[in-house]
């Protein structure tokens, strides 16, 4: 396709130099030969060596700035403006670098949504993310699953045109990404050809070391090939069905890597928007890195999508499957990296190259890879951050400010104060809308895409993510009045994604028993004060908020025996009945202590969408948020029991009216200051009411 890279406005002298358009490889070689015996004569330099540092960004998710558009606050722990500093440092360190992006680039922040859907970026302008990347000058990139989130016409525009697929004007010429996009395993149904070019062959000049120890410049052809997750066909079915189709990464590589080699690639770098999974290979596998690495002819592999890290020097590394070598930084012997997400790290693969007089080969054993993080600990143990590159932020400042204005724009309004101040004792006011949004989202997806589960009830659980751990201000607390997009961060603190799990009634009972660890065991006979809330985190206190599911929590009983009178649609729950529960990726994959199905095995759909975005969408569609419709459905209550002494808990200071507004007549204020120094009051819960 007609993607030709714009010359970046900034060119670092240490980047491996691009050939000029007028002096091709053949012409250059002829010229050098004509000079006869100069240190540029390739043929006399057999045995020369060079290091090529492949630098990877992945899953940037449009985080140009170190800025949280939900909290409307700086967050130094991520942002391309800081990764950019690591790129510049690497270019000073290495004579030869190749900068690649591994996809999930154009979606993920409010700025991304703003430029895609709210005030779409014109054809003549680059996306702010690409503009920022242009300040550094990328050599190539692939597409992640999220590149498809805004549909094919938008993707065509932001890539500069050339997507020959139904519903898209392939002849449209737009500003483009600024670097060649490569993707070998997604095809246009119309043309039966790859949607974008499967690979690119970059012709560069390497600064090498001759056998005499002197510097010598030698030509290299670097093949770069890309692969994305076949899951796009499910996740963006509405945009992609009938228009494109996918192939497995291994199948596509087996086809195109030899082609790339036959066209003269000295080395081949694979950009896999996917990671590692030890399950058996299939053509729709989401994370096929263990298998792609075994395809002959791949010299280096950059990975992503899992937002994880490789190599990992931690005692318990993120990946430890057979073939994974965290020390060597290789996957089945192939040098590889996975550079976290959001610009938190730069992946660096140092490829050790040897020149035989006509071409380069990689010495894999002498190559190595590492991650360089923007966040680290200094000698005193304090967290320190790499400074932002000063050239990045000014490039997008106007759009950045526009996005901030956008997230402050009301998308709805609430007639009640949505708070987690009393979520532990029964106020569903800030949780029900999350459950409603998750339930609606999963139910709609199952109806459209997973007919095999269409007969199962879809329920949702969520938890009070902010529940006082940091003190009296650490509660979700959205005021009556306009609801803006940034309020969704308060309603859903973490950047989780929605997962759907299939469980049965017995699993639900176990799940709720685990969640009820939130409470200490109360002795009704004890005359002294007893603290209700345990050290079990509030974000693990999963609850239903629907009339359909009802249960009691008997805090006088030990952990594991507290859930009583659990009913579904008014009848005791059938332990064998199957349900789909909407939850988050975290619980679905690492919730084994809640249910043995929450180790990933019960997941029927790992959605690509953030719970927070799902909440925003729900409010857009249901803008009049009311206590009656969105904040009053209690699924549970404490089992009534008279206690000899007071049962107490702490919450935000002087917030009793919030409990009263939620109809919690069994809560009273005992002390305006609970003495913890955390800005909290002491409340009493009367369990007999």
Pick from 48, 50, 57, 59 the residue near Mn ion by CB under 5 A. Answer: 59
Q: Are 505 and 446 in contact (CB under 8 A)?
A: no
Q: Which is nearer to Mg ion, 286 or 552 (CB)?
A: 286
Q: Strand runs (DSSP E) across 441-534, as ranges?
A: 458-460, 477-478, 481-484, 497-504, 530-531
- Can you read off the two tokens belonging to residue 255? 């086809």
* Residue closest to 227 by CA, chosen among 278, 189, 270: 270
* Nearest-approach distance from CB 371 to Mg ion, in angstroms: 18
CA–CA separation, 566 and 574 (whole Å): 10
Residue nearest to Mg ion (CB): 305
* Nearest-approach distance from CB 250 to Mg ion, in angstroms: 19
* Nearest-approach distance from CB 199 to Mn ion, in angstroms: 22
Backbone angles phi, psi at 115, to 5 degrees: -80, -15
Residues contacting residue 640 through CB under 8 Å, at least 6 positions apart: 687, 688, 689
Q: Which is nearer to Mg ion, 287 or 467 (CB)?
A: 287
Among 59-67, 165-173, 176-184, 347-355, which window interacts with Mn ion (CB under 5 A)? 59-67
Q: Given the rule CB under 5 A, which residues bind Mg ion?
A: 104, 144-145, 305
Q: Which is nearer to Mn ion, 63 or 510 (CB)?
A: 63
- Strand pairing partners for 413? 482, 624
Binding flags for Mn ion, 1-40, as an x/- string (CB under 5 A): ----------------------------------------
Q: Which is nearer to Mn ion, 536 or 586 (CB)?
A: 586
Q: Which is nearer to Mn ion, 96 or 497 (CB)?
A: 497
* Nearest-approach distance from CB 345 to Mg ion, in angstroms: 16
Count Cβ atoms within 10 A of the Cβ of residue 77 and give its class: 0-12 exposed, 13-18 middle, 19 or more buried.
middle
- Can you read off the two tokens belonging to residue 538? 């509030």
CA–CA–CA angle 646, 648, 654 (5° rounding): 120
CA–CA separation, 91 and 139 (whole Å): 13
Q: Are 633 and 547 in contact (CB under 8 A)?
A: yes
* Nearest-approach distance from CB 604 to Mn ion, in angstroms: 21
Q: Which is nearer to Mg ion, 144 or 198 (CB)?
A: 144
Cβ atoms < 10 Å from Cβ of 359: 16
* Nearest-approach distance from CB 553 to Mg ion, in angstroms: 38
Q: Which does 591 bind (CB under 5 to 8 A by kind): Mn ion, Mg ion, none?
A: none
- Can you read off the two tokens belonging to residue 17? 């130099």
Q: How far is CA 368 from CA 37, 52, 149, 531, in A?
A: 33, 11, 35, 54
Q: How far is CA 604 from CA 510, 583, 616, in A?
A: 19, 11, 23
Q: Which is nearer to Mg ion, 15 or 305 (CB)?
A: 305
Q: Which does 513 bind (CB under 5 to 8 A by kind): Mn ion, Mg ion, none?
A: none
Residue 237's SS3 state is helix
* Nearest-approach distance from CB 145 to Mg ion, in angstroms: 4
CA–CA separation, 18 and 75 (whole Å): 36
* Site for Mn ion contains 147 (CB under 5 A): no
* Nearest-approach distance from CB 165 to Mn ion, in angstroms: 23
Q: Which does 226 bind (CB under 5 to 8 A by kind): Mg ion, Mn ion, none?
A: none
Q: How far is CA 7 from CA 58, 135, 202, 595, in A?
A: 22, 10, 14, 54
* Nearest-approach distance from CB 374 to Mn ion, in angstroms: 17
* Nearest-approach distance from CB 58 to Mn ion, in angstroms: 8
Q: How far is CA 661 from CA 45, 379, 419, 437, 529, in A?
A: 82, 50, 11, 23, 26
Q: Which does 266 bind (CB under 5 to 8 A by kind): Mg ion, Mn ion, none?
A: none
Judged by CB under 5 A, the chain residues 96 through 135 that form the site for Mn ion are: 104
- Strand pairing partners for 610? 497
Backbone angles phi, psi at 366, to 5 degrees: -95, -5
Q: Which ranges of 177-299 would DSSP assign to H, the alpha helix?
A: 232-235, 237-240, 249-262, 289-292
Q: Which is nearer to Mg ion, 104 or 613 (CB)?
A: 104
- Strand pairing partners for 98? 54
Q: Which is nearer to Mn ion, 59 or 474 (CB)?
A: 59
Q: Which is nearer to Mg ion, 95 or 186 (CB)?
A: 186
Count Cβ atoms within 10 A of the Cβ of residue 76 and give its class: 0-12 exposed, 13-18 middle, 19 or more buried.
middle
Judged by CB under 5 A, the chain residues 160 through 179 that form the site for Mn ion are: none
Q: Which is nearer to Mg ion, 141 or 144 (CB)?
A: 144
Give the number of residues in contact with Mn ion, rule: CB under 5 A.
2
* Nearest-approach distance from CB 108 to Mg ion, in angstroms: 10
Q: Which does 646 bind (CB under 5 to 8 A by kind): Mg ion, Mn ion, none?
A: none
Q: How far is CA 429 from CA 43, 75, 387, 477, 537, in A?
A: 75, 28, 41, 10, 19
Q: Which does 131 bind (CB under 5 to 8 A by kind): Mg ion, Mn ion, none?
A: none
* Nearest-approach distance from CB 363 to Mg ion, in angstroms: 32
* Nearest-approach distance from CB 492 to Mn ion, in angstroms: 18
Residue nearest to Mn ion (CB): 104
Among 58-66, 360-368, 587-595, 647-655, which window interacts with Mn ion (CB under 5 A)? 58-66
Count Cβ atoms within 10 A of the Cβ of residue 354 and give its class: 0-12 exposed, 13-18 middle, 19 or more buried.
middle
Q: Which is nearer to Mn ion, 106 or 503 (CB)?
A: 106
Q: Which does 145 bind (CB under 5 to 8 A by kind): Mg ion, Mn ion, none?
A: Mg ion
Q: Which is nearer to Mg ion, 144 or 495 (CB)?
A: 144
Q: Which residues are at the interface with Mn ion (CB under 5 A)?
A: 59, 104
């Amino acid at each position: 396709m007609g993607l030709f890279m714009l010359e970046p406005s900034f060119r670092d002298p240490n980047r491996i130099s691009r050939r000029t358009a007028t002096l091709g490889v053949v012409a250059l070689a002829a010229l050098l030969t004509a000079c006869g015996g100069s240190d540029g004569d390739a043929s006399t330099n057999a045995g020369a060596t060079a290091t090529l540092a492949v630098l990877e960004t992945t899953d940037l998710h449009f985080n140009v700035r170190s800025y949280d558009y939900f909290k409307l606050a700086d967050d130094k722990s991520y942002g391309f403006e800081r990764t950019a500093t690591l790129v510049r440092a690497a270019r000073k360190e290495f004579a030869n670098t190749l900068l690649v992006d591994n996809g999930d680039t154009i979606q993920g922040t409010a700025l991304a949504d703003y430029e895609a859907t709210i005030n779409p970026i014109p054809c003549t302008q680059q996306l702010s993310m690409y503009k920022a990347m242009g300040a550094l000058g990328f050599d190539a990139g692939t597409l992640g699953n999220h590149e498809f989130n805004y549909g094919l016409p938008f993707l065509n525009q932001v890539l500069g045109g050339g997507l020959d697929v139904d519903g898209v004007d392939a002849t449209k010429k737009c500003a483009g990404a600024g670097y060649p996009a490569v993707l070998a395993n997604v095809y246009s149904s119309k043309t039966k050809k790859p949607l974008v070019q499967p690979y690119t062959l970059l012709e560069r000049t390497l600064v090498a070391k001759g056998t005499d120890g002197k510097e010598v410049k030698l030509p290299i052809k670097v093949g770069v090939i890309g692969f994305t997750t076949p899951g796009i066909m499910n996740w963006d079915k509405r945009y992609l069905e009938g228009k494109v189709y996918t192939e497995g990464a291994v199948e596509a590589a087996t086809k195109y890597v030899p082609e790339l080699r036959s066209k003269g690639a000295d080395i081949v770098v694979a950009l896999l928007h996917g990671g590692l999974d030890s399950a058996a290979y299939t053509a729709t596998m989401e994370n096929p890195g263990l298998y792609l690495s075994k395809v002959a002819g791949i010299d280096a592999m950059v990975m992503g999508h899992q937002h994880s890290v490789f190599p990992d020097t931690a005692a318990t590394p993120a990946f430890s499957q057979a073939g994974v070598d965290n020390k060597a930084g290789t996957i089945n012997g192939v040098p590889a990296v996975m550079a976290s997400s959001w610009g938190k790290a730069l992946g660096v693969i140092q490829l050790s190259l040897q020149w035989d007089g006509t071409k380069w080969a990689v010495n894999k054993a002498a190559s190595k890879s590492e991650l360089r993080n923007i966040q680290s600990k200094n000698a005193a143990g304090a967290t320190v951050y790499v400074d932002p590159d000063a050239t990045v932020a000014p490039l997008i400042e106007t759009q950045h400010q526009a996005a901030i204005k956008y997230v402050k724009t009301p998308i709805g309004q609430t007639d009640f104060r949505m708070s987690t101040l009393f979520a532990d004792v029964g106020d569903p006011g800030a949780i029900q809308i999350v459950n409603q949004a998750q339930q609606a989202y999963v139910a709609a997806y199952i109806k459209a895409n997973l007919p095999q589960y269409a007969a199962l009830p879809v329920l949702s659980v969520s938890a009070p993510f902010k529940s006082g751990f940091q003190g009296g201000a650490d509660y979700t607390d959205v005021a009556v009045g306009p609801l803006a997009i940034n309020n969704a961060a308060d309603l859903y603190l973490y950047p989780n994604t929605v997962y759907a799990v299939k469980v049965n009634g017995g699993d639900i009972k176990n799940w709720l028993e685990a969640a009820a660890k939130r409470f200490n065991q109360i002795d009704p006979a004890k005359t002294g004060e007893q603290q209700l809330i345990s050290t079990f985190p509030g974000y693990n206190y999963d609850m239903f908020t629907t009339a359909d599911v009802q249960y009691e929590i008997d805090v006088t009983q030990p952990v594991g025996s507290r859930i009583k009178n659990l009913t579904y649609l008014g009848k005791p729950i059938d332990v064998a009945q199957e349900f789909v529960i909407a939850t988050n990726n975290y619980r679905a994959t690492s919730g084994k202590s809640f249910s043995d199905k929450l180790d990933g095995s019960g997941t029927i759909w790992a959605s690509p969408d953030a719970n927070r975005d799902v909440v925003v969408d729900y409010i857009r569609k249901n803008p009049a948020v009311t206590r009656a419709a969105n904040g009053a459905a209690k699924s549970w209550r404490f089992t009534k029991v008279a206690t000899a002494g007071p049962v107490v808990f702490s919450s935000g200071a002087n917030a009793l009216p919030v409990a009263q507004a939620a109809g919690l007549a069994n809560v009273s204020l005992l002390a305006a200051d609970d003495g913890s120094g955390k800005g909290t009051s002491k409340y009493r819960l009367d369990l007999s009411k």
